[in-house]
Amino acid sequence: MRHAMKRALAATAHALAATALAMAGTTLTLGLAWGLSLLPQDALAQTKLRVFSGGQQQRPDLMKQLFERYQKANPGVTIEMETGGATSELQRQYLSTILNAKDPAIDLYLIDIVNPAQYFGAGWLEPLNAWFGDPAAAMKPYLPVYASSNVVEGKIAAMPAFADAMFMYYRRDLLEKHKLAEPRTWDELAAAAKKILAAEGQPNLQGLSIQGAPIEGTVCTFLLPYWSQGKEFNDGAGKLTLDRTAAAAGLKQWLSLVDAGVVKKNVAENKTPDTTNEFKAGQVIFAINWGFAWDVFKDAPDSQVKGKVGVMPLPAMAGGKSATCIGGWQWAVSAFSKNKAEAAKLVKYMTSTEASKFLATEGSLLPVYPGVYTDAEVTKAVPWFKDAATVVIAGKSRPMSREYGQVSDVLRTTTSAVLARTKTPEEGVGEIASKLQRVMR
């Protein structure tokens, strides 16, 4: 009786979570029904794996094709794919409900790069050491960031699916027209932007577009100038190592760009789609945005910047070194799956070089292997990856914390308040330090 009630409660939690998901999940059942009648009866036994593969930005259409390839090579496996959630926050809310209920319905799932430590601490994922071996050896072929983001307390918490990163997009045509080199520091960018703005005389043209609204991208707005001073936000164990002077200097750098007329005054309201649409419309000289934006600028029917866009490393603070935020997605196996071994085998395939090349050539999804960026087939399909490689390889992950939701909330809301000038940089940094010292201990 107790077991039946437990199963009923888990099923109810799963149904409620699916209803709460902002985007209705879509279930795609992938199978190889043909030919099964010709197999011996014992070969008809199937392992069914249910996979949560995120929302549309995680390209479920491409994941479906990889699952179909895997099933063809492994006819004893049937994969059911569930999708939903327009943002990583909504996807995290959904998975939290399922996994808190210890529901075994999902065998493996995609999570944001900032989530492995959180999910590991909650006991929601199965460490993968038994299938991938020594963590250092397992992560060696991948981008350097994964050795810290995906390994928690000596355990492989997740494996890299595809990467993302923040890039500095710029109007190559305008820099060439005004004979300007790619700026290496924020001061050089300000000087270049002001020269172009004065010469072009277009009232709607902005120098630089960044994210300042209290959204996830604004976590990176805080970190980019801070990291470029050679500072780390946390140590390997996740403990806060905030340098208050450097953090305040980074925030002051943004405000100085606003005061110089390079960044718009209402930057505290700016979201990622705003930056994307403004640059696409030809209204921005420089823009910080994620990797997906390249295809928008290149392919959107209403893009005014087709063939005019360049990609470069993000500028640094004076005397510092360029740094960028790495994003992207990881495959994890549920701690409550009843098919962990088969799920881990599927993870091996989905994080292979073959899968990485496929996602790169077919979807322009950034590879997790450094070597794939210069692969001849990949660069033929996506030429700009050659420029992206140096940016991504030097990228850093947002803070690794079991309480990442709280960390993110503090950083983005406080940074937005400073950009709105309702707090001074010093006040904002003091607030970040006092709140996160309790969380990141």
pTM of the model: 0.81
Query: Cα separation of 54 and 125, whole Å?
Result: 16
Query: Cα separation of 405 and 412, whole Å?
Result: 11
Beta bridge partners of 168: 288, 312
Residue written as tokens 């510092």?
Answer: 320
How many other C-beta atoms are found inside a 10 Å radius of the C-beta of residue 49?
24
Contacts with 233 (C-beta within 8 Å, 6 or more apart), sequence order: 223, 226, 227, 240, 241, 242, 399
Residue type at 289 in one-letter notation:
N
Q: Residue 36 to residues 68, 79, 198, 313, 348: CA-CA distances in angstroms?
A: 16, 16, 70, 52, 26
Residue 318, classified by CB atoms within 10 Å of its CB into exposed (0-12), middle (13-18) or buried (19+), is middle
Which domains occur in the chain, in start order? 2-164+328-385 (3.40.190.10), 165-326+398-439 (3.40.190.10)
Q: Which of 171, 201, 371 is nearest to 281 (CA)?
A: 171
Total length of the chain? 441
pLDDT values of the chain reduced to their tens digit, one per residue, 441 residues: 444 444 444 444 454 444 444 443 443 343 333 333 334 434 445 899 999 999 988 999 999 999 999 999 999 999 999 999 877 778 888 999 999 999 999 999 999 998 999 999 999 999 999 999 999 999 999 999 999 899 999 999 999 999 999 999 999 999 999 999 999 999 999 999 999 999 999 999 999 999 999 999 999 999 999 999 999 998 878 899 999 999 999 999 999 999 999 999 999 999 999 999 999 999 999 999 998 898 899 889 999 999 999 999 999 999 999 999 998 899 999 999 999 999 999 999 999 999 999 999 999 999 999 999 999 999 999 998 988 888 888 789 898 888 888 999 999 999 999 999 999 999 999 999 999 998 888
Contacts with 351 (C-beta within 8 Å, 6 or more apart), sequence order: 159, 160, 161, 331, 368
How many other C-beta atoms are found inside a 10 Å radius of the C-beta of residue 338?
12
Q: Which of 97, 132, 61, 75 is nearest to 332 (CA)?
A: 132
